[in-house]
Structure 1
Amino acid sequence: MHRVANGALNVDQQHETGDGTLVPAMSDRDVRRKRPPALSFVLRMATLRKFMRIVSLLALDFAGVWLALFTALLLKLLIKGNHELGPALRLASGQTEDFLAFAYLVTVLLFARSDLYADRPRRPGLPKIVASLFQVTLVALIFALASGQDFSSYYIFYASLGFSILYVSSFRWLHTEVTGWLLSRAGYTRRALLVGSGKHIDQVAHALAATPGKEIEPVGYISLTPRPDNGLRSLGSLADLGAVLERDRVQEVIIADPDFPQEQAVELVDVCHQRGVDVNIAPSTMEILVQRAEFVPGQSVPLFKLKPPVFDGIDFAVKRTFDLIGSLLLLTLLSPLLLTLSLAVKLSSRGPVFYRSTRPGIGGLPFDCLKFRTMTDDAGVSDEELEALNEADGALFKIRDDPRITPVGRFLRRFSLDELPQLVNVVRGEMSLVGPRPLPLRDFEKLEEWHKKRYLVLPGITGLWQVSGRSELDFDDLVRLDFLYLERWSVALDLVILLKTVPAVFTQRGAF
């Protein structure tokens, strides 16, 4: 009787029970038996690739952190220290050594926490790199202040942050491109078998086909329901699994069905692992939610708590620091413009310069949202009369040719300049630079319950609304953009939204 080379189950040693489930017979060898560590390492090339991936990324991160510190210190010596290039290079190199060990250690720890050393499909991109480097800088600053160090300026922190973002992200991008090219040239693919129900197999097959690089090659499928038409081969029934794994040299099985029968799943995993075949599960909505779950210890049953997408802990500290520094900087740079706009509002019509609009903030708590006044002083009394002219759907209230708006106000609204006083709200901690837009009380009272998830965080001056069509989108789409922002927040995403807000404002897309 023929046995496979690795000592896995003989195909002829499987038998089927009366209900059609697959039951493997016992074998004298099992690939799950322990091997000597050195032999196991050599045999499992995946372990070698993982080792090389982590070592190469650690080396690139080391080079990026070193270059960031060195460049920041060298520029300071050349510009402010009046040093010649030769002495400045030696002095900057020596000073870099003083900071390097601590900076690199914190970088590695926070990068590991963010899965930045994970395999290619799970490794995050630029937004997570920027967020983690921002956290490294914040930790370094807090440690320096707590240890009693004095600084004439904080140049070393923000300069090294900027250069580390440049160097580390560039090195990692290059690493991804080069390793992807090498794997492609080597013809590296993982032969995968899709198992599940017809429609789910079809969805996963299309997703794999659209994945750049195509490192997973589906060799066929086993369907529990009528077979889908997705261009793949049907390889039989679940009872044929052992034979299929060996005949088609399958390296991993993907369960493409969130409702896959539990008993059959346990048997499938056992048959696969006896042959050294990995098993992956294509996630359903519940598995996606579990990615942000937090384990609850001390329970008789393993429980995971689904936390709301709020900013807390170090994320809150990072975002609040970014908001405070950014708003103070913008208030300083824009002060001449703010003064000019204040005079224009005051001289063009009767009434105060600023309009205080009471709006729900975080948790629905009201606050005074500051804006330049754009309407006549008694504009508020006509809201109910103009309700029939509302051009927006859902909870929003918008009129393109609102008769209450002053000429100066129309200009301010066209370019969203009336929102600039909200920088003061950001300094006061009532708003954020980027976040879900705060709605007037009239609009808030018309929200459905699922809309109110957007009030779990501070409202923002700008957000995905402003860079994704603004008033051209319907209200439900706008709320979904808020949810997308909450799930994917990072400092890099905030920076991208702020930068995209400028062209969105000047092109006047969807603004009225």
Structure 2
Amino acid sequence: MGLAGAPRPRNASTRPPSKELEQLWSAPTVQRERSDQARRPRRGPGRHLPLVVGADLLGLGVPAWLVLRADGQPQAHLAAGAASLVWCGVRAARRRYAARRPGDHGGALTAPGDWLLFVGLLAVLGTVSAEPVRPVTAVLALLPGLLVTVAVSVGSRLPWPGTRRRAKHRVLVVGEAPEVDRAVRLLGSRTDHAYTVVAAIPVGKAALAGETPVPGHLAPAPADDDVSTVLGGAFAHDADLALVIPGPQLSEERLRQLSWGLHDGGLPLSVLSGLSGITAGRVRPASAAGLTLLHIAPPLRRGPQMILKGAVDRTGAVLGLALLAPLLALIAAAIRLTSDGPVFHRQTRQGQHNLPFTMWKFRTMVEDAEAHKAQLATDNETDGPMFKIRRDPRVTRVGRVLRRTSLDELPQLLNVARGDMSLVGPRPPLPEEVSRYDERELRRLAVRPGLTGLWQVSGRSDLSWQETVSLDLWYVDNWSVATDLGLMARTLRAVTDGRGAY
């Protein structure tokens, strides 16, 4: 017996008397089968979990035992075994062995962050140990474990024969035309996610700007055929997910009615939030009084990750200057011998909280380059406040090589060591550029500028000003130590490619 007035589950007698919808209800349950498949692509080690864990255990334990034994450490086998167990514990605690949803980032880029945390834990344990290990020996003993984990992570993502490609969601977008156009454009502009737009159903009669197939339209006001139109479009284009964008014509009650019908028809539903530029890790859903709440964690501005970032910046800068000293000397000699003027170019830039600092670079232009800038203002090839010319006549022959390879930026390691800059962060702007910033663009200065960052690895000068600002704002709000390590790894590829460097 059911409660009086409670909604009853749908059956053949309670379905809407629409012929189109009746055909959909009686059609083969293709959508429901696909929705089951859509949940299946959660990826992880799976049946290879023992091999992955074994690689982590042996990849760290065996080299650590050999190094510790060669160094004469007592009970090297026990120390190596304990270290390998702690390493696997760190990986497990951070859910590296758990299944991943399509579009989740992970793998090789997460391993360096895990390793730094692992080293920190062992350092704390080493302070209470009766037989502490020398830092150099400890790093040599533990580093192979990181390399093995990265190799296994990369290998697991290679397209081995007989393995399936990552499943993609075939998405039907529903919403008002401008918002549908925006969602289709953004989803189509990148490939690092699991969503492919196959069709769209606009609300109202407005036409879409792109060439996305439109199997139908929803009326501006709620109508009896809302569900049948969306289900019919999904069935016609083999979609396994409806991405619905709320708006004035797609109100809360209409969206709820639509969700009931789509779920009853076997089609999963996702609702596009009005928030953008926020990583999933900062979002925590909650419910209160029947309302769905999204708690957004604030950006990292203090705490252990900030301390670790500062330590990585200073240590990396000092080590970089020491290791690259011969290369820096060769570059300095080449600049000095091929053109008149100083080796270094010092320039005032705006740093964190809009505080000025002096930034160092290798000189890549003629000595009086600034005096000719006004004459070239009409040749500026970028929008916004930046000034860039692809074939700038002020750049010297050696300067073109340095800019192409980004070697002219290496002296900024001095700024990183001093604390004016970070290894990773937004591009440090000129004072004249900042004077033209609006409130949105000023948020770029909430963190220290970086030697490299999203701008540098995503196209550099080939990007428009708005694209550059969007990338920097994403970093300002979503950075983490793991993100920094991933960007530093991607910097090598960007430097080798040289795209957008001029």
State whether structure 2 residue 110 is matched by structure 1 residue 129.
Answer: yes
Residue in structure 2 matching 1:258, options 229, 246, 267: 246
Q: Do the aligned partners of 1:137 and 1:161 also contact (CA within 8 Å) in 2?
A: no
Judge conservation of contact 1:435–1:461 (CA < 8 Å) in 2: yes
Deviation at 1:222, TM superposition (A): 8.1
Distance (Å, rounded) in 2 between the aligned partners of 1:483 and 1:49: 34
Residues 1:10 and 1:358: Cα distance change in structure 2 (over 3 Å): same
Q: 2:424 aligns with which of 421, 428, 434?
A: 434
- Does residue 1:99 correspond to 2:83, yes or no? yes
Q: For the residues of structure 2 that align with 1:255 and 1:388, how far apart are their CA atoms?
A: 45
Please give the per-residue CA displacement for 1:250-284, whole angstroms capped at 9, x wherever unaligned: 997634333333213333445566x5957431524
Aligned residues: 457
Asked if 1 retains the 8 angstrom alpha-carbon contact of 2:227 and 2:261, the reply is: no
The aligned residue for residue 286 of structure 1 is 275
Q: Does the 8 Å contact 1:467/1:504 carry over to 2?
A: no
Which residues of 2 match residues 253-402 of structure 1 at below 5 A? 254-259=242-247, 260-270=250-260, 277=266, 279-286=268-275, 289=278, 291=280, 293=282, 304=294, 306=296, 312-341=302-331, 354-372=344-362, 382=371, 386=375, 388=377, 391-393=380-382, 394-398=384-388
Alpha carbons 2:352, 2:447 under 8 Å: kept = yes
Deviation at 1:360, TM superposition (A): 0.9
Among 184, 193, 196, the alignment partner of 2:174 is 196
3-state SS in 2 of match to 1:359:
strand
After superposition, residues 216-231 of structure 1 pair within 5 angstroms as 225=204, 230=213
Say which of 73, 79, 82 aligns to 2:64.
73
Answer whether contact 2:385 2:433 (CA < 8 A) is retained: yes
Deviations 1:114-163 (A, max 9, x none): xx734431432336523542443344244335545722134444653553
How many Å separate the matches in 2 of 1:476 and 1:217?
A: 25
Q: How do 1:128-167 residues align onto structure 2 when only pairs under 5 Å count?
A: 128-147=109-128, 150-157=132-139, 160-167=142-149
2: CA distance, partners of 1:409 / 1:214: 42
Q: Distance in 1 between matches of 2:487 and 2:105?
A: 16
Q: TM-score, normalised by structure 2?
A: 0.67
1:348–1:408 CA contact under 8 A, matched in 2: yes
Q: Alpha-carbon deviation of 1:361?
A: 0.8
Work out whether residues 286 and 295 of structure 2, in 8 Å CA contact, stay in contact via their aligned partners in 1: no
Quick check: 2:244–2:271 contact (8 Å CA) kept in 1?
yes
Structure 2: runs of 5+ lacking an equivalent: 1-7, 18-34, 219-223
CA 1:401–1:331: 2 relative to 1, 3 Å: same
Deviation at 1:106, TM superposition (A): 1.9
8 Å CA contact 2:108, 2:149 repeated in 1: no
Taking structure 1 as reference, are residues 57 and 396 closer, same or farther at Cα in structure 2, changes over 3 Å only?
A: same
Q: Quick one: distance in 2 between partners of 1:396 and 1:267?
A: 49
1:420 is aligned to 410
The change in CA–CA distance for 1:280 and 1:312 in structure 2 (over 3 A counts) is farther
Helix, strand or coil: the match of 2:269?
strand
Deviations 1:82-106 (A, max 9, x none): 9xxxxxxxx8765432223322222
C-alpha root-mean-square deviation of aligned residues, in Å?
A: 5.6
| 1:449 alignment partner in structure 2 | 439
Structure 2 distance, partners of 1:441, 1:66, is: 52
1:74-89 pair list within 5 angstroms: 74-76=65-67
Amino acid across the alignment from 1:500: R
Q: Which residue of 1 aligns with 2:487?
A: 494
Name the CA shift for 1:270/1:429 in 2 (closer, same or farther; >3 Å): same
Relative distance call for 1:77 and 1:45 in structure 2 (3 A) is: same
Change (3 A) 1:243 1:502: closer
Structure 2 distance, partners of 1:222, 1:310, is 39
- For 1:391, the aligned partner's letter is N
Q: Is the 8 A contact 2:283 2:296 kept in 1?
A: yes
> Do residues 170 (structure 1) and 152 (structure 2) align?
yes
Flag the structure with larger Rg. 1
Superposition deviation, residue 428 in structure 1: 1.9
Distance 1:450 1:417 in 2: 31
- Report if the CA contact (8 A) 1:290-1:306 is conserved: no
The one-letter amino acid paired with 2:245 is D
Q: TM-score, normalised by structure 1?
A: 0.66
Q: Give aligned-pair identity as a percent.
A: 27
In 2, the alpha carbon distance for the partners of 1:413 and 1:449 equals: 31
Matched residue type, 1:10 = N
Q: Contact 1:11 / 1:243 at 8 angstroms: preserved in 2?
A: no
Instruction: Work out the CA distance in 2 between the residues paired with 1:383 and 1:251.
Output: 57
**Contact 1:253/1:277, CA 8 A, preserved across alignment:** no
2:494 and 2:466 mapped to 1: Cα distance?
21
SS in 1 for 2:429: coil
**Tell me, what secondary structure is at the counterpart of 1:111?**
coil
Give 1:11's aligned residue. Answer: 12
| 1:427-458 Cα deviation digits (max 9, x unpaired) | 12221223322122223223343333322222
Shift of 1:329: 2.0
Q: Does 1:461 align with 2:442?
A: no
2: distance between equivalents of 1:243 and 1:397?
51
Secondary structure in 2 matching 1:11: coil
Q: Return closer, same or farther for 1:206/1:92 CA change in 2, 3 Å cut-off.
A: same
**How far, CA to CA, are the matches of 1:472 and 1:303 in structure 2?**
39
Residues 264, 148 of structure 1: alpha-carbon distance in 2 compared, 3 angstrom cutoff = same
> Relative to 1, partners in 2 of residues 1:216 and 1:140: Cα closer, same or farther, differing over 3 Å?
same
* Alpha-carbon offset, residue 349 of structure 1: 8.5
Give distance in 1, aligned partners of 2:455 and 2:193: 32
Runs of 5+ unmatched residues, structure 1: 1-6, 17-43, 83-90
Contact 2:240 2:267 in 1 (8 A): yes
